[in-house]
Chains A and B, each alone.
Chain A
Amino acid sequence: MNKPLPTASLRHDETNEVDEKELVRMAKAGDHEAFRQLFERHNRRAYALALGVVRNPDDALDVVQEGFIKAHRYLPKFEGTSSFYTWLYRIVMNLAIDHLRKRKRAKQVDFNDALSHIEGEGLVGEDSLLPKILGADPSKSLMRREMREHIRLAMGQLSDNHRSVLMMRELEGLTYEEMADVMKCSKGTIMSRLFHARKNMQQHLLELMDGPTSGAEA
């Protein structure tokens, strides 16, 4: 398998992992301070994930708070086969998805999830991703408040399922298999959702930037 795209910059080094195991052990033994340190380490990352999915800062804070409370409650069941954060993000992700389900006003259907008709098509067409849209360094683009707002709005226009897979992939670098496990669907569905999430995101961004012609800004 080839090397995946670089993902979030929040990977832990080995030292941290060793420390973390100790913190988890202490927290399991009832040490609140140890659990507080785990919270300090991971709250921001958990928040970014929750915010990416629920899109509302207050709701994201609620999700993170509930996530840590739940993590503390079920800490004795955490066996340490994965990192604490891997375990935590699943709790947070499930809570975020639950939150979306509860909030959902009307059932959303991702009509464009089916990919069967894509087979055999080339690079151009309805089911193609768009070529590079900004023509510039994305980090520079993000310096512009307007661009950040466009991205925020474009993400808000994605369906809950599309946004969830996009966040899991881009923020956490999950494999399709892992995402399928979290979202309780097939790997094919994840692939389809991710493809359309990216395509829709590109289209929303282009629309917000006043059409495809303005996409080549510097």
Chain B
Amino acid sequence: MTANATKPTDVEIMMFLDGELDGDEATVVARFLEDNDEAASVAASIGQLSELVRGSVDLEADAAEDKLAGLWAGIDKAISSNGAISSGASKDAPAETPIISIQAKAEERATEKLVENAGWFGGWQSHVMIGALAAAAALLIMYIQRPTGPGQTTPGQTVAETSTQTPTQTVGNGGMQPTIVPVALRFQEPEVEALEVYGGSGVIMTVPADAESDEAATAVIWISSDTDVVEDPI
């Protein structure tokens, strides 16, 4: 209470109405309210405001009855997936954010993304399939043309050795029988590197230049997004 005990402040009136004053302080304010119309009006306004706020929120809560009833399904699901009540729960833990709804929202977002990407795939399906077939063909050719050990041949090599039209290179080795090295064996394998990119991965395939055929080096970069969805392209 202030020095002027006969004239309480609005704060003191509010505290009195909220039950926060006791003893002499409460008595003084109570008497003042009885004798002073202006103070009584202030007290009434506090009571009126309380009633308006309570009533208003109450009505808003009424409007949400249906949604509240539907809330149980989510809670039930969450507590069921949490399993038995944890006896090791910490008392400090209520400050932490419950994970359940966040997980559910993340899953929802992931599903939306999946659907979105599936839609993208639908639009570009033919391009992706052509690309995949081209890559498969290139890999097949590389496999066929791969170098092998002595005495072993690949189909391409056999053609080179048996055809007189195929250019060969003679390697000098003293008086010994010259070794015929088929051109096919000089073919350099492409360098294939893995490529990590944001949100996906890729492959860089570099085919070195070929002096014999005047072909320049070629690099193919193949990037796939992590979210690409290929639903059984075959």
Contacts and interface: CB of A to CB of B under 8 A. Distances in A.
A114 to B, nearest CB: 12
A170 B50 contact: yes
Interface of A: 1-5, 7-8, 27-28, 30, 32, 35-36, 39-40, 43-45, 47-48, 51-52, 57, 60-62, 64-66, 68-70, 72-77, 90-91, 94, 98, 115, 118-124, 127-134, 138-139, 141-142, 147-148, 151-152, 155, 166-167, 169-171, 175-176, 191, 194-195, 198, 201-202, 205
Given A73-B85, A138-B51, A152-B56, A61 B71 contact: yes
A45 B63 CA distance: 13
A128 B67 CA distance: 40
A66 B101 contact: yes
**Is chain A's interface secondary structure helix, strand, loop, or mixed overall?**
helix
A209 B11 CA distance: 25
A37 to B, nearest CB: 11
B57 A171 contact: yes
B53 A30 contact: no
Interface string B44-71: 1111111111111111110111011001
B19 A57 contact: no
**Is chain B's interface secondary structure helix, strand, loop, or mixed overall?**
helix
Contacts of B140: none
Contact of A130 (B19, B45, B50, B63): B45
A147 B84 CA distance: 47
A11 B120 CA distance: 56
Given A1-B21, A5-B17, A129-B46, A70 B98 contact: yes
A130 B45 CA distance: 7
Contacts of B95: 94, 98
Contacts, number: 219
B3 A138 contact: no
B53 A170 contact: yes
B214 interface: no
Interface of B: 2-4, 7, 9-11, 13-22, 26, 30, 38-39, 41-42, 44-61, 63-65, 67-68, 71-72, 74-76, 78-80, 82, 84-87, 89-91, 93-95, 97-98, 100-101
Contact of B2 (A8, A76, A119, A201): A119
A195 B12 CA distance: 10
Nearest to B7: A122
Nearest to A53: B57
B66 to A, nearest CB: 11
B42 A74 contact: no
A70 B54 CA distance: 26
B57 A133 contact: no
